[in-house]
Amino acid sequence: MQGTMQDVPLLISRILVHGSTVHGRSTVTTWTDEGPVRRTYAETGARSAQLAHALRGLGVAEGDPVGTLMWNNGDHVEAYFAIPSMGAVLHTLNLRLPATQLAFIVNHAADRVIIASGTVLPLLAPLLPKLPSVEHVVVSGPGDRSVLAGAGSGVRVHEYEELIAGRPTAYEWPELDERAAAALCYTSGTTGDPKGVVYSHRSVYLHSMQVNMAQSMGLTDHDTSLVVVPQFHVNAWGLPHATFMTGVNLLMPDRFLQPAPLAEMIETERPTHAAAVPTIWQGLLTELTARPRDVSSLTQVTIGGAACPPALMEAFDALGMRVCHAWGMTETSPLGTVARPPAQARGAEEEWAYRVTQGRFPAGVEARLTGPDGERLPWDGKSAGELEVRGPWIAGAYYGGAGGEPQRPADKFSEDGWLRTGDVGLISPDGFLTLTDRAKDVVKSGGEWISSVALENELMAHPEVAEAAVIAVPDEKWGERPLATVVLKEGASAGLPELRAFLAGRIAKWQLPERWTVIESVPKTSVGKFDKKVLRARYAEGELDVTRLQ
């Protein structure tokens, strides 16, 4: 027996049409030098249609990738919908990547059109001669256009507003295969070349529904979401698409990502929700401590991309901002887990034990743990192994380039098709994930594992520590031992012996680092994660002033 339901493709164009009609009065607000600029969802839908017509006029066809080198703003939201809805592929470009990696990504994807924020043109201009596939650059917002003069032979430059002006405000969106490519995002390439992940219309649609579930972000049209997580970072965690499903108002910070303007945005625009990596929130906390603001509207904060130190969660709890941990990666769209305590958790203490985990797997994500010898480990909250996942919004391969076959490297995918995340952790019987480390970052000392993340969290609980990163370094006796690199807060007086004594009271004695150093800042990746490979290289080159404490 077959079902009798209609077979309607799950397409991004349907999300756009729904949001711009049913939720037409919801708004996309962009923070600018001249104050907030607002567009309704209805206006965004009309402008998305105009952009689609304009791109078709530039020769963009179904299946063609269109690059966006943009901040989080209203124009970028329009590109998010116009490009996939017309059948092309949204290719978000990470403007914080090194120039060589950015050029590699554009060439690997063979982008013919790039839409760029005017303020990032100094980054794009020198690359254009190295990007043979690029024929058109569309410039959005303020910025010095003169840097593009002569930057690339044969590249035509267009003004975004002029290009869409006068175009029809309706578009006959094609009825696409829901499994067709909708968006392309590359990993940050911390080891080797970046790898492309191609999201389908179906995966984006299903992922958006999960983002909107009450036990995920659970936002409604009563909410305003401050989307700090970049739109070039895993589709801004799915928020632009998910919000058009439910009418959540969007507050987009553009290039104003420093703590002071973010505090001003919160005070002025009164968002109820925000999403960003922990380093953003650490800076905002410092700003609010030095210059208190009325941030009482912001009651829910989603933190992902890296483990959030419990001390930071406690500090935001004190401000009335409830932090909710989430875990994911480029290959998982990214929503993999969300740490909302279950109904069985009674009281603040039991809830806290769940909140500091990475969270519970939703129905769309299957998970398993694999031991070092390939054995399957139980969900007992004790057995630690590499996390592997699969599901309808989980990557099953990497993009092989124009005309290339999908790539399934053995270190990234199991023989039976599960994604090998590279994260080491354990899972409780009720499906809550606790990550103890990245497989490449765990300290293997004398046959035992030491979690670098656990040591970092305990160190950052010290009131005078701003940041801490722990790396494995060679040791003649134990094979590897932890090196603690610490960033002290301004005016701090704590010395390394005091920090070691503080840590000694919070961890097992054998895990206590002997090697310590104070640094100005922890190196970060393009998406704000601790870049430990840089620290390891600095140690190997003898650039760190290391003190040994016994």
- Structural contact between residues 526 and 276, judged by C-beta atoms closer than 8 angstroms: no
Residue 86 tokens read as: 């017309």
Which residue intervals of 58-200 are DSSP H helices? 74-85, 99-109, 121-124, 160-164
CA dihedral 135, 138, 143, 148 (to 10 degrees): 10
- Residue 293 one-letter amino acid: R
SS3 for 106? helix
Query: In whole angstroms, how far apart are CA 549 and each of 101, 477, 487, 538?
Result: 40, 16, 18, 20
- Helix 239-246 crosses helix 74-85 at what angle (to 10 degrees)? 90
- Structural contact between residues 463 and 490, judged by C-beta atoms closer than 8 angstroms: no
Residue 479 parent element (H or E): strand 479-488
User: Whole-angstrom distance between the N-terminal and C-terminal Cα of the chain?
Assistant: 72
SS3 for 198? strand
Spatial neighbors of 65 by CB under 8 A, at least 6 apart, are 88, 89, 90, 91, 109, 110, 111, 112, 184
Q: Is 490 a catalytic residue?
A: no
Residue 386 parent element (H or E): strand 385-390
Q: Give the span between the Cα atoms of 182 and 203, in whole angstroms.
A: 9
Q: Is 532 a catalytic residue?
A: no
Q: Give the span between the Cα atoms of 438 and 115, in whole angstroms.
A: 35
Q: Is 498 a catalytic residue?
A: no
User: Of 29, 30, 92, 187, which is the active-site residue?
Assistant: 187
Q: Is 331 a catalytic residue?
A: yes
- Identify the CA nearest to 55 among candidates 145, 105, 63: 63
- Identify the CA nearest to 325 among candidates 347, 354, 367: 354
- Residue 115 one-letter amino acid: I
Half-sphere exposure of 522 (CA within 13 A, CB side): 26
User: Of 449, 480, 517, 547, which is the active-site residue?
Assistant: 449
User: Of 287, 331, 386, 458, which is the active-site residue?
Assistant: 331
Which residues are annotated as catalytic?
Answer: 187, 331, 444, 449
